[in-house]
Structure 1
Amino acid sequence: MTTITDLTPGTWTVDPAHTEVGFVARHLMVTKVRGTFADVEGTVEVAPDVTKSTVDVTVQMASVDTRSADRDTHLKSADFFDVENYPTMRFVSTSFDGEQLTGDLTIKDVTKPVTFEVEFNGEQADPWGNTKAGFEAEAEVKRADWGLTWNAAIEGGGVLVSDKIKIVLDVQLLKQA
């Protein structure tokens, strides 16, 4: 069985064509709305002692896609991400124990700690001689912590958009030579 300690040390970069940075929010308190960000870049420096590894990832907020153009436009507005003034979201790790990755998440110039539960899916050579590694990770945050507080009360009680947001990552890394 492959474990995170088997990951080859060195510099790895996020492969955006095989990576999904997503989120899940409750809508009307009864259903889930999922969204993704298509434009992501990042570097992972894997240390010989994997717990000393570092992660630095940047997401372009204007690349949000929830499969609804109107909703995406609203998310890009000052009510939510305000992409005109805050075009990026950034995560910089502060610690990793092999299963939990903690770091500083910055949205709209507000930085808060976030801890992701990480699952290592292995390392593999592709048919073109590149070395790839796969990870899945999840964290739960409160959007209000980053000043994302827009909402609307609904007639039956509750609010239109949940404060609790799940961040869901499916990441493929490319080993640099």
Structure 2
Amino acid sequence: MKAARHYLAWVCSVALLCGCTAFNVATHHVSGNEASVPVGRYELDAHHWNVSFDVDHFHYSRFVIRFDKVSARLDWNPGGIAASRVQASIDASSVDTNVPLLDRMLKGPDMFDAARYPNITFQSTAFERSGDDTGTLTGDLTIRGVTRPVKLNVTFNGHAVNPLTKQETLGFSADGHFSRAAFGLTTWFPAVGDDVHVAIQAEFGKLKE
């Protein structure tokens, strides 16, 4: 009888916890106020991000090239997004087009040459506001050992404590363009266009101090 009561209490506790979690998720709200963001170091959420390149393909469509392995760190400083810095690293061998033969070609010496240059990196250098939650992020992009400045249009989507992870979490969207020829990536031109569009979705969670 005593064991039954303990089991019933455990079941009720789990049900209550699940109910509270479901309620917190359903009522979750993020703030667009940068002043609410705690200063500190944030890392890219391993499960909530997307980085892709797309290029013109024979003028039929924009062919999408995704990456499966990316790491990033955001140092959120006093003064908000304009005073903060981000750095990211893309595993060049994680390129994913859903076409295995093309993946091998992109990883090979004619394009990313992942064996010699395993990482595509980005290091921010400046941010210029264009609105309350938007602006242009300038940074150094390095591909195949060549570094060039690029600009990304960034939107700060908001901040809150994630109801599932219990971490302070920031969300961003970004996109921009660069010339692949500027990095020595001229293979297949002009069948494949020179202009590369970058699309990014990212959530960052605050590290414990």
**Scaled by the length of structure 1, what TM-score is found?**
0.91
Instruction: Quote the residue 1:102 is aligned against.
Output: 138
Q: CA deviation at 1:128?
A: 3.2
Over the aligned positions, Cα root-mean-square deviation in angstroms equals 1.4
Instruction: Quote the residue 1:58 is aligned against.
Output: 89
1:73-110 deviation per Cα after TM superposition (whole angstroms, max 9, x unaligned): 11101111000111100101111124111110000010
Assess if the C-alpha contact under 8 Å between 1:119 and 1:135 holds in 2: yes
Q: CA deviation at 1:16?
A: 2.6
Q: Which has the higher contact order (CA 8 A, sep 6+)?
A: 1
Where do 1:33-52 residues align within 5 Å?
33-50=63-80, 51-52=82-83
Instruction: Quote the residue 1:174 is aligned against.
Output: 205
| Larger helix percent | 2
Aligned length, in residue pairs: 171
Distance in 2 between residues matched to 1:4 and 1:87, nearest whole Å: 35
Instruction: Quote the residue 1:124 is aligned against.
Output: 160
Distance in 1 between residues matched to 2:48 and 2:91, nearest whole Å: 16
C-alpha change, 1:17 and 1:29, in structure 2 (3 Å) is same
Rg comparison, structure with higher value: 2
Instruction: Quote the residue 2:114 is aligned against.
Output: 83
**Scaled by the length of structure 2, what TM-score is found?**
0.78
C-alpha change, 1:149 and 1:133, in structure 2 (3 Å) is same
Q: Return 5+ residue gaps in structure 2 as ranges.
A: 1-30, 130-134
1:39-91 deviation per Cα after TM superposition (whole angstroms, max 9, x unaligned): 11111101111212111111100001111111111110111100011110010
Distance in 2 between residues matched to 1:35 and 1:167, nearest whole Å: 10
Instruction: Quote the residue 1:72 is aligned against.
Output: 103
SS state at 1:67 partner: coil
Q: Alignment identity in percent?
A: 31
Distance in 2 between residues matched to 1:6 and 1:128, nearest whole Å: 18
Q: CA deviation at 1:124?
A: 2.3
Deviates more, 1:45-54 or 1:84-93: 45-54
Instruction: Quote the residue 1:141 is aligned against.
Output: 178
